[in-house]
Amino acid sequence: MITAENVVGLVVGEGCFYVESCPDSRYRLGWRIRPAFCIEMRAEEEGVLEVVRDLLGCGSVYHLDFGRYSGYEKRGWLPHVKYRVTRRRDLDQRVVPFFRQYPLFGRKAVAFEHFAKLVEILTAGLHRTPKGLDLAKEVADRLREHNRRGLLLGERTGTKT
Amino acid sequence: MITAENVVGLVVGEGCFYVESCPDSRYRLGWRIRPAFCIEMRAEEEGVLEVVRDLLGCGSVYHLDFGRYSGYEKRGWLPHVKYRVTRRRDLDQRVVPFFRQYPLFGRKAVAFEHFAKLVEILTAGLHRTPKGLDLAKEVADRLREHNRRGLLLGERTGTKT
């Protein structure tokens, strides 16, 4: 059995709270901010991620065979599977409350605080005004900066999966 | 607070049950078999690993600045810290019972079963006879093979930390 507290430990090791924050003309103020939560593991661990999905009650599990994984076999990488939540309502009503109830620890707890703040801003719709958008961008930058400092050279250059 | 079940999840992501099994003339039958358990994280997570050490009641936490980490800064890697248990009595009386009480999951649970079997064999002193040593070698090989299949190319070639 995988418990909620097990999931917390797994997320400290393997989970990622991240955000896309970039210009996008399809958005009213010309800027897109999309937070997401994911855990990536070896393909054999699909069952583990399915339990995580069920415990969190949202998101989906899918196999990676595109993007930086395209042709991974040729590069000697093993197949991976990803659990991801992007739907804002799920982030607000499932993911954030889950990690409030079962707290994270270490650096990941800091990433989560930026993430939760961002989800709160977006859920309240504050980003629809220029001033609120600036605030959202600022929090998004803080989260990205935190995650960036967490990356190793291998990851930056794509040699780590 | 970091709970025992949190530690389990962290170990599924970041922990390693491994074994040295190789010829060594200092040993009676000319072979050394030394199981060990470790978790490696970024240096900032030292506090996390100290809590893990206290929860398990054994092992030590130390900074990595040697071996494959030598000159890590020049290679763009970040400083790492490692929690490790090598003392057989601690493995037998602390580590194995801990993960019996708070079960692992996924591939790591399989590694743990090989590891626990090996610790049991060594604790019983079976490896002091040629037949028992063969059994211990066999279990050690199974653990190493399991861990090897878990490695990505980046890890094999040392580009992943």
Q: What is the pLDDT of residues B109-133, one digit of tens each?
A: 999 999 999 999 999 999 999 999 9
Contact in structure between B21 and B31 (CB atoms under 8 Å)? yes
| Count of Cβ atoms closer than 10 Å to residue A122 Cβ | 22
Q: Across the A/B interface, how many CB contacts are shorter than 8 Å?
A: 103
Interface of A to B at Cβ within 8 Å reads 1-3, 5-14, 41-42, 44-45, 47-48, 51, 75-78, 103, 105-107, 150, 152-154, 156, 159-161
Q: Which two tokens stand for residue B39?
A: 């978790």
Of A56, A1, A152, A24, which is closest to residue B154 (Cα–Cα)?
A: A152
Average pLDDT over residues B97-110: 97
Q: Which residues contact A68 (CB under 8 A, 6 or more apart)?
A: A158, A161
User: Is the pLDDT at A160 greater than 70, yes or no?
Assistant: no
Q: Which two tokens stand for residue A144?
A: 């990205």
Average pLDDT over residues B72-92: 86
Averaged pLDDT score across all residues of chain B? 89
Q: Provide the CA B145 distance to its chain's centre, in angstroms.
A: 14
User: Is the pLDDT at B146 greater than 70, yes or no?
Assistant: yes
User: Is the pLDDT at A153 greater than 90, yes or no?
Assistant: no
pTM assigned to the model: 0.88
User: Is the pLDDT at B151 greater than 60, yes or no?
Assistant: no
Which CATH class name applies to A4-149?
alpha beta
Average pLDDT over residues B83-107: 98
The pLDDT score that the predictor gives to residue A79 is 83
Average pLDDT over residues A14-19: 97
User: How far apart are the CA of B17 and the nearest CA of chain A, in angstroms?
Assistant: 16
Map tokens 């030292």 to a residue: B46
**Euclidean distance between CA atoms A28 and A128, whole angstroms:** 8
Interface predicted TM-score (ipTM):
0.86
Q: How confident is the model at residue B70 (pLDDT cuts 50, 70, 90)?
A: low
Contact in structure between B85 and B49 (CB atoms under 8 Å)? no
The pLDDT score that the predictor gives to residue B74 is 64
Question: Could you tell me where the DSSP H helices lie in chain A?
Answer: 4-14, 46-56, 88-90, 96-101, 107-123, 130-149, 153-156
Q: Which residues contact B43 (CB under 8 A, 6 or more apart)?
A: B63, B78, B79, B80, B81
- CATH of B4-150 among 3.50.30.10, 3.30.70.360, 3.10.28.10, 3.40.1190.20: 3.10.28.10
Between A158 and A49, the more confident residue is A49
Average pLDDT over residues A27-55: 96
Helix (H, G, I), strand (E, B) or coil at A3: coil
User: How far apart are the CA of B119 and the nearest CA of chain A, in angstroms?
Assistant: 24
Of A141, A147, A155, A142, which is closest to residue A22 (Cα–Cα)?
A: A141
Average pLDDT over residues A18-39: 95
Between A69 and B110, the more confident residue is B110
Of B132, B134, B112, which is closest to residue B124 (Cα–Cα)?
A: B132
**Cβ within 8 Å, pair B6-A6:** yes
On the CB side of A143, CA atoms within 13 Å amount to 27
User: Is the pLDDT at A91 greater than 90, yes or no?
Assistant: yes
**Euclidean distance between CA atoms B23 and B137, whole angstroms:** 11
Q: How confident is the model at residue A75 (pLDDT cuts 50, 70, 90)?
A: low
The pLDDT score that the predictor gives to residue A149 is 73
